[in-house]
Amino acid sequence: MRLSMPINLSDLKPNEGANKARKRVGRGPGSGHGKTSGKGHKGQKARTGGGVRPGFEGGQLPIQKRMPYLRGFTNIYATPWEVVNLDTIAALELDGPVTPEALVAAGVVRGPEFPVKILGRGELSAKLVISAHAVSESAKEQIEKAGGTVTILERTDRWVTARPRNRKLPIDRDLKSARLGKVGGPQKRSDVTGAE
């Protein structure tokens, strides 16, 4: 029969590797980190508070300023239009109306979730009924000249409502214009909205 000894505070210890001893520098040559404390001899990086900011190249024009093609930004809210030219439509020789669904089926457009725009490159002789979310002036002119018709579809894609994260809600604009919480303005939200 084994006797279990009671546990006391002296039995508690952290897991192996949980506590790491700090690096003590400047405590003599035997430690390996004496004298210059691992900073080397003199120089800007050896001084108290020394060093340079990230990206500093000693006064030389830094990389982020040397490369003009890295300037600007990419608009993540831009609409990814699917562009189809008239010569592409003519080459397809589609039977029936030319719609975004027909262009998806023909493999010209990536998918039905993208808005389609018709551009005027190429010649069009066939009389076509074309439906798209946008049509350039030159394309519309050529289609109607060939006896066809153009219908502009209403956009229902997700990029119609894409807005930056910090978008202002209409109610917030109303509250700001009413000077809510300001001196001389209403003190409660319900005074502006009328809701309890």
**Token match 């909205």: residue?**
193
Question: Is the distance from CB of 131 to CB of 140 less than 8 angstroms?
Answer: no
Phi and psi, residue 135, nearest 5°? -140, 135
Q: What is the pLDDT along the chain (196 residues), one digit of tens a residue?
A: 566 778 899 999 999 999 999 999 999 999 999 999 999 999 999 999 999 999 999 999 998 888 877 667 788 888 999 999 999 999 998 888 999 999 999 999 999 999 999 999 999 888 999 999 999 999 999 999 999 999 999 999 988 875 655 555 566 777 788 888 888 888 887 777 776 5
Residue-level pLDDT at 163: 61
SS3 129: strand
Residue-level pLDDT at 94: 87
Residue-level pLDDT at 4: 73
Residue-level pLDDT at 24: 94
CA end-to-end distance (rounded Å), the chain? 73
Domains in the chain (CATH in brackets) are 82-152 (3.100.10.10), 164-196 (no CATH)
Question: Is the distance from CB of 120 to CB of 105 less than 8 angstroms?
Answer: no
The torsion region of residue 88 among left (phi > 0), alpha (psi -120 to 50) and beta comes to alpha
The pTM is what? 0.51
Residue-level pLDDT at 164: 56
Residue-level pLDDT at 144: 94
